[in-house]
Amino acid sequence: SIPEAQREAWKRAQTTGFRGTEGFEKEFVRHVETTLGRSMFNCDENAAYSATSLAFRDRLILDWNRTQQRQTYIDSKRVYYLSLEFLMGRALDNAMLNIGLKDTAKVGLADLGFRIEDIIQQEHDAALGNGGLGRLAACFLDSLASLDFPAWGYGLRYRYGIFKQEIIDGYQMEVPDYWLDFNPWEFPRHDVTVDIQFYGQVRKQTDDTGKTVSVWEGGELVEAVAYDVPIPGYDTPTTNNLRLWSSKASGGEFDFQKFNNGDYESSVADQQRAETISAVLYPNDNLERGKELRLKQQYFWVAASLYDIVRRFKKSKRPWSEFPDQVAIQLNDTHPTLAIVELQRILVDIEGLAWDQAWEIVTSTFGYTNHTVLPEALEKWPVGLVQHLLPRHLQIIYDINLFFLQAVEKAFPDDRDMLRRVSIIEESQPKMVRMAFLAIVGSHKVNGVAELHSDLIKTTIFKDFVEIYGPDKFTNVTNGITPRRWLHQANPRLSELISSRLGGNGFLKDLNGLNKLELLADDKEFRKEWSEIKYANKVRLAKHIKDTMGVTVNPASLFDVQVKRIHEYKRQQLNIFGVIHRYLALKAMKPEERKKQLPRVSIFGGKAAPGYWMAKQIIHLINAVGAVVNKDGDIGDLLKVVFLEDYNVSKAEIICPASDISEHISTAGTEASGTSNMKFVLNGGLIIGTCDGANIEITREIGDNNIFLFGNLAEDVEDLRHTHTYGSHTIDPDLDKVFKEIEKGTFGTPHDFSAMIAAVRDHGDYYLVSDDFHSYIETHKLVDEAYRNQDDWVSKCIISVARMGFFSSDRCINEYAESIWNIEPLAMKDC
Ligand code: GPK
């Protein structure tokens, strides 16, 4: 509908973005001089980062525009990934690599007087997530774009991401992470806004046709404003969108009525209350605390996203029945489950569809991914709270439940207790809405994130639903990681070595291509180059440890790493008790014997939820042990213990390439998948782990002689717990010695650690620390032995990397696309 002459004018003026070094330099200088208002005389590294990012952003947004235009024009099915967390980390390095212009920028920056590594370091992580769940969402976005899938992410634009962790006198302190000061990667869309309603009442009324309709009215409105973050695919022009919603007072900055009446304070207060919704990320991992503001966040984000999705669908003028052919929505955990209810509300109350037709559309549209079986992480909301905040939604939930239970009753007339067990409403005091059950009932597929986990949910928390719906509704999609960030970006030298031997970078987009490396496992020259790279990565981490924590570590030691959120089920306590055991053993040795021992550095990192007292005690013990061991003259380099402050994505990029062995030692059956296990192996490190989550599939892929497994199996956990409670519970004698040493005051005031000890000794040892201790210690001895034979060790590492193809998030996304979303890639033609 745009006249030809106008089109021509637009075309003539079209921006193309830079290609070569000269073009980059021009763009860089232009941004320094105009956007930033500086010059070569006051362009520090931070300004250089800004200018570089803006130059790349300009390029990205052109590809973004073309991608979106093409997707709109072809109008094929899109997938929407709804996640309350996107743990993106830094964007610049990733953008440069994915576009394929890092070398160009490197030369350009050098010409202008900067080292690219220093410039990359300037960026603040986008840390809109807690841990694995949020990082998985970020890996998925990278794969979706790299594989040319038409896909959008929807999330919240938190003003404060996950807090920054400081370690002060051995304790965790939380500092707010204000990351939005300068963020070149987002595009505010002040024209894309949605009014979101809360509270109010529902009125029934009869429409012209005599039908009863529900009208939700009153309450308050909050405005959602869209911020778009371009997601570049690797080696493809496809650039997808991550849309993050920010909240502000509806109807502009102030309520002018109030303002003019002299009620300035309360008009500002209204505005602040609205902005509170997207102000902060809840810092809990694997825990739901049931706070009203969290529910508000969920509805705010879900309602804005659905409005957007429905608006886009309606532009195509298709009938509603085609909605599921055009739209797939994936629920990342139960956090977005209200989307099911909201879509039903839109279709029935606003679009006037009959309940059954609407419900058919809803259930064909949604898929739900479960990430945990831990009971404390399963979301439940008090009925009263939902009623108050979202009165119409509660009615719809009750109706969904009614129809569901009627069908169950019909199918299982003899099982009266079944209705109570599977009801979306838990008949407790107070009554609760069970979000996972609602998510299952409202989706056509439910998946777990590793084989063991997907089996477990079918036999435990969702057992009844397998009976009701049959097994086909439940499936497994084992997690994966993007090899672009976790190999190519984090470990450029290893990536280059591999590429030089495989004859190109193809493995970055088809990770199974790595398997040809297996032929080189015994190649002396290759092993040498491989070891040199590992050593260089360890030197880099050693420097980071020195610079940040002040501890000197010898890069020739075995680096033993456990970095992840601090949680009792992940068992950092088992690790530190093991470290103490090692320390005591070294102390007990004669000097000659001691000299023969293998030097080790135990590296820990991870945040504790601010209200998770036991997790904070674990951090304190690790630091207390470090303080004693690291200055013990008898021990020297034989053992160092380091707690790395503020573990995050950009630090993981330094840590993963530098580990020899990493620890994935959750109580069997508790870690749904784990994804850092994959990152460490892909970077040429071996792992010690329990038979849990994806460790099991990693073992299957790389072979059980290339992994150090220990501990009890998931199937035995329940019985063991039972014996702790009702039998005689004896503590492992070596562990008991460790406890006694702590209680002697060797690591400071014993009382500081009494709860950790009591959890094992007196409170049933729920996480089986004592049961697994012996096997853990023995397995670490095997690690030491194996490490002494470096040739063998390096061969194991090479073989493991060669067999890691399965764990690419590309494989994972292809499985979702085929078995859950039913979508096809849409490659960008040169247009
Ligand atoms: C699971 F339930 C949760 C949660 O609240 N946060 C979180 O990060 C993790 N997860 C699992 O703990 C990991 O095992 C898993 O690999 C990851 O989600 C991604 O699926």
Residues 213 and 280 in one domain: yes
Q: Is residue 589 part of a domain?
A: yes
Q: Return the ligand 1 atom nearest residue 284 CA.
A: 5
- Which residue carries 């042990």 as its tokens? 625
Q: Verify whether ligand 1 is closer than 6 Å to residue 675 (CB atom).
A: yes
User: Is the C-beta atom of 133 inside 6 A of ligand 1?
Assistant: yes
Same-domain status, 474 and 512: no
User: What does the pLDDT read at residue 831?
Assistant: 46
pLDDT band at 265 (very low <50, low <70, confident <90, very high): confident
Print the domain residue range for 758: 483-807
What is the interface pTM, i.e. ipTM, of the complex? 0.99
Q: Ligand 1 centroid to 419 CA: how many Å?
A: 29
What's the whole-number mean pLDDT along residues 340-349? 98
pLDDT(507) > 60: yes
**Is pLDDT at 630 greater than 90 in this prediction?**
yes
pLDDT at site 727 = 79
Minimum CA distance residue for ligand 1 atom 3: 286
361 and 431 part of one domain? yes
- Say yes or no to pLDDT of 42 above 50: yes
How much is the mean pLDDT over the chain?
97
For residues 461 and 504, membership in a common domain is answered with: no
DSSP classification of residue 89? E
pLDDT at 39: 97
Q: How confident is the model at residue 257 (pLDDT cuts 50, 70, 90)?
A: low
610 and 545 both lie in a single domain: yes
179-188, 192-201, 259-268, 764-773: the lowest-pLDDT one: 259-268
Q: Does any ligand 1 atom lie closer than 6 A to the CB of residue 480?
A: no
Amino acid occupying residue 778:
E
Q: What is the pLDDT of residue 262?
A: 72
With a 6 A CB cut-off, is 479 part of the ligand 1 pocket?
yes
pLDDT in tens, 683-726: 999 999 999 999 999 999 999 999 999 999 999 999 999 999 88
Same domain, 499 and 429: no
DSSP E strands in 340-485: the ranges are 366-369, 380-382, 425-426, 432-434, 445-448, 474-476
String of DSSP letters for 452-474: HHHHHHHHTTTHHHHHHH-GGGE
* Catalytic residue ranges: 371, 564-565, 570, 675, 679
| Assigned domain for 224 exists | yes
Position 31 in a domain: no
Number of domains observed in the structure of the chain? 2
Q: Is 606 touching ligand 1 by the criterion CB < 6 Å?
A: no
CB 125 within 8 A of CB 178: no
The closest residue, in CA terms, to atom 19 on ligand 1 is 133
- 670 and 799 in a single domain? The answer is yes
> What share of the chain has pLDDT > 70, as a percent?
99
Rounded to the nearest angstrom, the distance between the alpha carbon of 531 and the centre of ligand 1 is: 32
> Which CATH number fits the domain that encloses residue 515?
3.40.50.2000
Per-residue pLDDT reduced to its tens digit, 567-622: 999 999 999 999 999 999 999 999 999 999 999 999 999 999 999 999 999 999 99
How much is the pLDDT for 171?
98
Q: What is the pLDDT of residue 256?
A: 59
Q: Decide if pLDDT at 503 tops 60.
A: yes
Output DSSP code: residue 817.
I
**Is any ligand 1 atom within 6 A of the Cβ of residue 85?**
no
pTM > 0.95? yes
Which atom of ligand 1 is nearest the CA belonging to 134? 8
Question: DSSP alpha helices (H): ranges in 597-710?
Answer: 613-629, 649-655, 676-682, 695-702
pLDDT band at 118 (very low <50, low <70, confident <90, very high): very high
Angle of helix 524-549 relative to helix 492-502, nearest 10 degrees, comes to: 170
- Domain annotation covers residue 501: yes
Q: CA 510, CA 810: separation in Å to the nearest integer? A: 8
671 lines ligand 1 (CB under 6 A): yes
Tell me: do 502 and 445 sit in the same domain: no
641 shares a domain with 617: yes
* Position in ligand 1 atom list of the atom nearest CA 671: 14
Query: Residue 136 CA: which ligand 1 atom is closest?
Result: 19
H-type helices in 32-179, by residue range? 45-74, 92-99, 102-111, 116-121, 132-146
Q: What is the pLDDT of residues 738-756, one digit of tens each?
A: 999 999 999 999 999 999 9
| Ligand 1, atom 16: closest residue by C-alpha | 674
Average pLDDT over residues 404-432: 97
CA distance 651 to 539: 15
For atom 18 of ligand 1, the residue with the nearest CA is 133
Within this chain, do residues 647 and 775 fall inside the same structural domain, yes or no?
yes
Distances (CA, A) of 194 to 221, 250, 303, 768: 10, 9, 9, 49
